[in-house]
Chains A and B, each alone.
Chain A
Amino acid sequence: MNRLAIPKTYKLYIGGKFPRSESGRVYEVLSHQGDFLANAAKGSRKDARDAVVAARSALSGWASATAYNRGQVLYRIAELLEGRRAQFVDEIENSEGVTTAVANAQVDEAIDRWVWYAGWADKYVQVAGNANPVAGPFFNLSVPEPTGVVAIIAPQGNESLLGLVSAIAPALVAGNTVVVVANENAPLSAISLGEVLATSDVPGGVVNIVTGSPAEIAPWLASHADVNALDLVGAGDLDWVELQISAAETLKRVLPPESGADAAAPALSRILAFTELKTVWHTKAIL
C-alpha cells in the first residue's frame, strides 16, 4: 500500500515563535536533483521588521546574562544538535545532494563549532579587555560589550548548516541578538536549527531566522535604524556595496562577504567584530 507522504511546511522563527510569513507567501524548496522537498515561508520586509523588534526586546536580557551563563546556554545548543543529528543529516543529504558521510561530517563540524564558540563566552573579555596603564591614581579598564542587534546574511553556499552556525554563533557569544536571513536554496536546516533553539535555553528573540530572498530582505535590514551591525558574510552575490553604503547611514558595523571553503572560519576576530570597547576610569581606593 502506498502511503501518502506528508511534506513539512517550514515557517519562520521570530521571537521564540514560529509564525508564517506576514505576506502569506511560500516557496518550494527543491532537492539537489530538483525534486520537491518542502514548502518554506518566503519572508518579507515586514517579517524582517518584526524580527528586529523581537531581537531588540531580547537584547537587554541576553547581554546582561553572565558570560558563564551564556556559555552554558550555547553549549546546550550543541548538546541538542547532537541529539537531533539524524534530522539534520537527512536534510543536508536531500538538499545538498551529498553522501551520508559528508552530511555527517558537516553536522559534526557544526556542533564542534558551537562548542568552540561557547567556550569563548567567559574568556574573550580577558583576551580583548585590558587594564590600561595611566599616569595617575586610577584604574583604567577597557571592556568589550555587545554591539546590539546584528543582522546577518547567512552563507549561501553548499554547507547550509555549517555556514549558518559559523555566522550566528560568534555574534551570540558576546551577548548580541541576531536576525539572520537563511540560505535561500537550502533553508531547511536553518529552520530545524530554530526548532533546536526553541527547545534549548536560548531566550526567545535572541536568534530570529527569516527564510526567503536575501536580495529582497537585505536592503531593509541594512537601512534599518534599529539594527546596530550587519554581517554580509553570505551577501557576495548581492549588490553588497550598496548595502554597505546604506548601513553607513546609521553607522552600523559591517563585515564584508566571504567566499571559498574557509568562509566564516572560526576566529576570535568574528566575536570581536560585534563588540564595542568601553573604557572606564575609576579611582584607586584604599583597600
Chain B
Amino acid sequence: MTSSPLATYQPDQRALALIGGEATDANLRRYLHGIPGIDAVGLEARAADLGTRSIKTSSKRWAIDTIIGLIDLTTLEGADTPGKVRSLVAKALIPDPKDPGCPRVAAVCVYGDMVGDAVTALGSAHAAGGTDGVNVAAVATAFPSGRASLSVKLADVRDAVTAGADEIDMVIDRGAFLAGRFGQVYDEIVAVKEACRRADGTLAHLKVILETGELNTYDNVRRASWLAILAGGDFIKTSTGKVAPAATLPVTLSMLEVVRDWHRLTGVRIGVKPAGGIRTSKDAIKYLVTVAETVGEEWLTPHLFRFGASSLLNDVLLQRQKMTTGHYSGPDYVTID
C-alpha cells in the first residue's frame, strides 16, 4: 500500500491531491464527509474488548517502564509558578529517587510562559527534540479554549518556540469545525505549523488537540483527525484535559485507526496522544494494548505515542515499587503534586 504515488508527493501537495483541489470549505467538506462513518457500537465493543486482556507479570513490568517513557508530565494550572515547574522537571528526570533504574519521562508539558523555566531547569538533560533526555512541550494558540484571533495564536506559538519549546500542543478552533468552516481550521493548522519554524529553519513538533469532548460524535472525531493530519500535524491529541469527557479508549481507538489508514495511504507515521483522565496504570496498559493491536508495536515510542498526564506517573510508580519490593506501596512513597 505504501507504494501508492501519494507517498512520493511533498506533504503539502499530497493533501491537495487527496482533497482534489484547494483546501476550501467545500472541497474539505466533500472529502471529510466522504469518509465512511463509524460504527459506534462496534467501536466501543472493540475498545472494551481490548481492555480485558490479561497482562502477565513480566509483560506488566515492561509495560510500566514503557508507560513512564511515554508520559508528557503535565502541569497546566493558573497557579503554576517557576518553582512548581522546577519540581515538575526534577520529577521528570528522576521519577523515583529510590530507584536509579527508573526511566525518564518523554517530556514536560507547560504553558508557553513557563517554557523558559522548564528549559533552564532541565539544563543539559534538555533533549531539544532528540531522544536523549527530556523534551519541553508547550500548549499554545490560546489554550484551552482557542478563542483568540489568528495573529494572537501565532504570536503565542512563536513565543513558545523562541523560548525553547521542542513541541507545540495547539488547539483547533472547535467552533469553526462544528460550524463546518473546515477551511479555516485547516488554514490555522498550516499557519501554526509555519510558526513552529525556528531561526535555523527546523520545525518544532506540532501536536494538534482535537478536544474530542466537544466534538460530540465519533464521526466528527474521525473527520477532525483527518483534517489535522492533512493540514500537517505531527501528532493528534485527544483533549486539553480541561473538558470532560477527556481521553477515552474508544475515541483514542478511532484516532489510531485514522493514523493506521494514513500510514497505509502515504507511508507516513503520525503520533497519537491521549490526554486527560488517564490516572491508573491499569488504564494506561489498556492504551498500550490498543496501540499495539491497531497500529502496531512500533508506535510505542515517544515519537509516535504519548500520554498527557500528571497523576498517572505516581500510580505507575506505586505499581513499579510493588513489583520491585514485592509488597504494596503507598502514596507516602511518591511525591505530592
A88 to chain B, nearest CB (A): 33
B330 contacts partner chain A, Cβ-Cβ < 8 Å? yes
* A220 near B331: Cβ-Cβ < 8 Å: no
A264 contacts partner chain B, Cβ-Cβ < 8 Å? no
| CB neighbours of A223 from chain B (8 A) | 326-328
* B329 near A226: Cβ-Cβ < 8 Å: yes
B9 contacts partner chain A, Cβ-Cβ < 8 Å? no
Number of CB contacts from chain A to chain B under 8 A: 28
Instruction: Name the residue of chain A whose CB is nearest to the CB of B333.
Output: A225
Interface of chain B: mostly helix, strand, loop or mixed: loop
Q: Most chain-A Cβ atoms within 10 A of its Cβ — which of B326, B328, B330, B333?
A: B328
Interface size on A (CB < 8 Å)? 11
* B331 near A52: Cβ-Cβ < 8 Å: no
Which size bracket describes the interface of B in this complex? Answer: under 10
A229 to chain B, nearest CB (A): 13
A246 contacts partner chain B, Cβ-Cβ < 8 Å? yes
Interface of chain A: mostly helix, strand, loop or mixed: helix
* A52 near B327: Cβ-Cβ < 8 Å: no
* B332 near A226: Cβ-Cβ < 8 Å: yes
- Bound CA span A249–B330, Å: 13
A85 contacts partner chain B, Cβ-Cβ < 8 Å? no
- Residue from A220, A225, A246 in contact with B330 in the complex, judged by beta carbons closer than 8 Å: A225
| Interface 1/0 per residue, B32-52 and A, CB below 8 Å | 000000000000000000000
Instruction: Name the residue of chain A whose CB is nearest to the CB of B327.
Output: A223
| CB neighbours of A220 from chain B (8 A) | 327-328
- Bound CA span A193–B238, Å: 46
| CB neighbours of A56 from chain B (8 A) | 330-331
- Bound CA span A225–B327, Å: 7
| CB neighbours of A246 from chain B (8 A) | 327
Which residues of B240-299 have CB atoms within 8 Å of chain A's CB atoms? none
A253 contacts partner chain B, Cβ-Cβ < 8 Å? no
- Bound CA span A226–B333, Å: 9
A167 to chain B, nearest CB (A): 22
* A226 near B328: Cβ-Cβ < 8 Å: yes
| CB neighbours of A49 from chain B (8 A) | 328
- Bound CA span A249–B328, Å: 12
* B332 near A224: Cβ-Cβ < 8 Å: no
B327 to chain A, nearest CB (A): 4
- Bound CA span A249–B326, Å: 12
Which residues of B205-264 have CB atoms within 8 Å of chain A's CB atoms? none
Instruction: Name the residue of chain B whose CB is nearest to the CB of A249.
Output: B327
| CB neighbours of B321 from chain A (8 A) | 225
Interface residues of A, Cβ cutoff 8 Å to B: 49, 52, 56, 220, 223-227, 246, 249
Q: A223-B326, A225-B321, A225-B329 are in contact. List 17 more A-B contacts (CB 8 A).
A: A49-B328, A52-B328, A52-B330, A56-B331, A220-B328, A223-B327, A224-B327, A224-B328, A224-B330, A225-B330, A226-B328, A226-B329, A226-B330, A226-B331, A227-B330, A246-B327, A249-B327
In the A-B complex, the 4 residue pairs with the closest CB atoms: A226-B330, A223-B327, A225-B330, A224-B328
Interface residues of B, Cβ cutoff 8 Å to A: 321, 326-333
Pick 28 A–B contacts, CB within 8 A, sort by A: A49-B328, A52-B328, A52-B330, A56-B330, A56-B331, A220-B327, A220-B328, A223-B326, A223-B327, A223-B328, A224-B327, A224-B328, A224-B330, A225-B321, A225-B327, A225-B328, A225-B329, A225-B330, A225-B332, A225-B333, A226-B328, A226-B329, A226-B330, A226-B331, A226-B332, A227-B330, A246-B327, A249-B327
